[in-house]
Structure formats: structure tokens, C-alpha cells
Structure 1
Amino acid sequence: MASTQQRFMRRGITKILFLESIQAPTNIPTRTELTAGTDLSKQISDIEGWSLENSPIETPDLGSGFATSIPGEDKAASSSLTFYEDLASDAVEKLLTKGSAGYVCIMRKGDVPLSKSLDVFPVRVGSRAPSYSTGTEPAKFKVSFSISDLPTLDAAVPAAAAG
């Protein structure tokens, strides 16, 4: 039996948080750790990367003119977040200074407890640079991240705290 797919737009749904630490070796945060993180969603104007890529290994053989391949090593795509600058606050700039380490948590379908849509990327900030323009557009800056360890993908969003 076919079910109706409920499509959605990421803007207004997807949440991106920065956590300074996660205790579990699985890199899956608790609800308390998520709550203690910084929600960056409303300051982000653009997002790039945040996925794994595979570098296939070619396996040609003498018996065929076709070059086959097998899956090779995985690596993280170049990843960055572009933020709107805040004329009154530099909180995001202070949080994401060059060399800062932490975790970028992306809740793809929003903060929906137990939804298997949480991706956690252990990161270090590689660079932070303003985007200069003379045009009539908002001031922005771009933060580039190095993915420092294997990301945890498709984890369950932690259950909401009992209350």
C-alpha cells in the first residue's frame, strides 16, 4: 500500500546547533547537551557540504576494456556555514573562532524527538572570514569547518525532558 509522502522545505524546519562537548563515545548528544548548545539556525544564510563522499578505487582488468571500480575511503565534503553579521553582538564570532572544536548537530527534520534525522559532525573551525560587498545585501561572514572525526549520521533526536 502506497503512503503519501509529506515533502517539506528545510528553511523553517531544519535546526543547526553547535555543541562544545558531547560525553557519549557515539557522539550522540543527550537532551541536556542539546539544550546547552547554541542554536545557530536563525543566523545562518547559507550552508555547504555536511556530507560524506566516497573516493572510488579503479579496478581495471586485462579481460575487459571497461574500467570497473570498488568503493574506497570515505571523506567529509568541504563544509561551511555562512552567517548574517550582527551589528550589536559578536556572540557567534566568539563561539566560532579559528581552531575552536566542538560538534555541529543538524536536525534535518527539526527538533522531533526520536526522529532518526540527527547528524552530528565533530569539527574544528578552519577559518572565519567576512564577506565584503558594496551591494545592497546584508553583511555576512563564512565559517569553514574541518570534520575531525567520523560523523554520526541518522541518529535519533533525543527525547524531550520529562516535565
Structure 2
Amino acid sequence: MKKTLLALAFLSASSASFADSWLYGGVSVGQSDFDGKDETAYSVHVGTGILPFIGVEGGYTNHGRFDISNVKGGGDVSLDSTYAAIKPSWNFGDLQVYAKGGVHRWTLDASQTSRFKNDDGYDVMWSVGADMEVFGPFALGANYTNYKMDGEDVGSYNLTATLHFF
């Protein structure tokens, strides 16, 4: 009986703390677009709510390995990013709408035949999305994220799964 009451208290409290979770983490999978080519992308993220309407998030994104061999100077290009962002959010019941803006460190690994060269650097990233609380601290959602990489845009559409702790 005590376990059941504790579980119910935890699940009901999680609805009220959706936006200002002390700690949350999740995964996403989707599709990134680079140089007119699409590849499967995945990422992991972790964050914390510093105020009821704003948080800080960090994560890693693997944008995929792009085969650009059908264009002049083609070859394979692999891209990934590690980011830190500010995340303002707005709650409408079980729905959370958010934006993210921050910086990321990107790495581009190119095959020797690619017109791109191995490179890395720091640039800006931004994102918009929404999460819907499915049950308790678990939410599903979707987002669009744009990463700048030395003048190139890498856009990514993703489906997300997030678990909110505390």
C-alpha cells in the first residue's frame, strides 16, 4: 500500500514539475540534411530547469555519414556535434513547447576523395520543438534543430523521448 501511494504521489508531482525538472535526460532519432543529402541522425541530451520557464541543456548529436560521391569532388563526410544551450519553455497542461539556442563544437571527417576537408570548430545552433507528457515523468516529442558549421547549415528533424527526474 505504501509503495502504491508513493508511486501515485510521484506520478502526480511529475506533471506539475514538467517544465522545471531538476534533471532530465533523453534520446532522439531523426534525419539530418547536409549538402542536399539526408542521413539518419541520433542524439542524447541532459538538462536542468533553473527557473520554471527556462533551463540549460547539453548533448551530443551524430548527424550521420553522408555519401556525396555523385557530385564533383564527392566522397564520404561524417558529422557530429556536442552542444550547450539555453532552453526557454512554455507549458500548456501536458504539452511543453520550447526553443533552444546555444553553441556547439562540430567535427567534420571527410574521406580523402571528398571536396570537404577534415575540420572542426565552434558555431551556433538553435531548435524548436514540443514534448507531450505520456505518463508520469516520461514524454515524447518532436523538434527541428539547425546547426551552423563553418557557413553550412545542417538541419535535423527528430522524434524525442525524455525522462524527467526530481
The alignment's TM-score, normalised by the length of structure 2, stands at: 0.28
Q: Which has the larger radius of gyration?
A: 1
The alignment's TM-score, normalised by the length of structure 1, stands at: 0.28
**Which structure dedicates a bigger proportion of its chain to strand?**
2
